[in-house]
Amino acid sequence: MLETPKKFTLVAGSAEGPSRLNAFDNALLAAGIGNVNLLRVSSILPPGAVLMPRLEIVPGQLLPTAYGTITSDLEGELLAAAVAVGIGEDGEYGVIMEFSGRCGRAQAEESVAEMARAAFRQRQRELKNILVQSAEHRVQSIGCAFAAVALWY
C-alpha cells in the first residue's frame, strides 16, 4: 500500500506541441511536473496535508495527481483547465475538483469552485476555503491546457 501524502501543491501550465501527446507533455513541463510519472487519483485531499508553494520532486518519481486537461488541434480555439481544493476544518480531509473545457480561465475557475462547494454540501460539511489554480490556452496548431493538484511526501 502506498503511503498517504502529507503535502500538496497546485500547478498549471499550457503549451503547444507537434502532436497531441507532445502538447500534453509540454503543458506538464510548463506546470513543473513534466519529468515525473503521474498517478492519476480521484478527488480527496488527505487529512492534515500541508499546502506547499513548490514541489520538491525528483525525475521519474511516482506522483499522485488529480488533474484536468484538454487538448485541441482547432486553430484559435480557447482552452482552459482548472483545479480547486475545498478545505474544511483543520485536520479533516478536503475535496479536489478538476475541470477542463473549451472556455476561458474565468469560466473554468468559476465551474471548478462551484464543484468544490457542491462536494462539501453533499458531504454536509462546512467549507472554510477554496484554492484554485488554472491555465488558459489559445490554440495555434495543437495546444493543451493542464491544471493539477500534486499530492506528495
Residue 114 C-alpha cell reads as 462551484
One of 26, 43, 72, 134 is an active-site residue; which one? 43
Catalytic residue flag (residue 42): yes
Cβ contacts of 19-28, under 8 Å, gap ≥ 24: 19/142, 20/71, 20/73, 20/142, 20/144, 22/142, 23/71, 23/142, 23/143, 23/144, 24/69, 24/71, 24/144, 24/146, 26/144, 27/69, 27/135, 27/137, 27/144, 27/145, 27/146, 28/146
Catalytic residue flag (residue 134): no
Catalytic residue flag (residue 98): yes
One of 37, 75, 89, 126 is an active-site residue; which one? 37
Give CA–CA dist 51/48, Å, rounded. Answer: 10
One of 14, 26, 72, 98 is an active-site residue; which one? 98
Q: What is the dihedral of CA 41, 130, 103, 101, to 10 degrees?
A: 20
Catalytic residue flag (residue 19): no
Mind telling me the catalytic residues? 37, 42-43, 98
